[in-house]
Amino acid sequence: MTTWTTSLTHPDEPDAIFLLREYLTELVRRYHGRPDLPGEVDAALAESPSDHLAPPTGLLLLARHDGELAGCAGLRWRPGWAELTRVYVRTSFRGRGGGAAPLAAVEQRARAAGADRIRLDTRSDLVEARALYAPQLRGDPRLQRRQVRRALVREGAPAGVDDADPTR
């Protein structure tokens, strides 16, 4: 029997650094439509650091499949809500439920922290992420570039959340 587990980590821990680098390598390759060039991933890491995924501004979870490092997901805290970010499943673990495990874990932590909703921002070329989020979204399943994910974190969350004013 295979099992998925998640654990809280700090973005400066070796496993987190490894996964976040792998994640950004994939983003760079997809963005440019070619293999990354020397220095591009380092530039992406410098331009988009993950220090906001450490307390008190956020959190980062690692996902493991039968003990093997398989993915991650992060939350950035905002007043009353959270932003879902850095959701990544290593290629060899895709299609085996690896995205659902960290997604469920971050939702549970957002709920426990009192978040009314989780905001999702994903790129159109991240088709695996879009497929993961689609069944859980209300409204348009095509996931526009800056789709807002309505909260599964608290019943009775206020209606009318949109990209123009994510604080509503």
Average pLDDT by stretches of 10, the chain with 168 residues: 89 97 92 91 91 96 95 93 91 83 88 87 71 58 37 35 33
* DSSP annotation of 35: P
Residue 156 lies in a domain: no
> Which pLDDT belongs to residue 75?
94
For residue 92, the enclosing domain spans 4-136
Residue 146 resides in a domain: no
Residue 148 within a domain: no
In a domain, 144, yes or no: no
Alpha-helix residue ranges (DSSP H) falling in the chain: 14-32, 40-47, 100-112, 127-133
Structural domain includes residue 167? no
0.85 exceeded by pTM? no
In a domain, 153, yes or no: no
- In Å, what is the CA distance from 86 to each residue of 111, 158, 160, 164? 19, 26, 25, 22
What is the CATH classification number for the domain harbouring 100?
3.40.630.30
Q: How many domains is the chain built from? A: 1
Residue type, 4: W
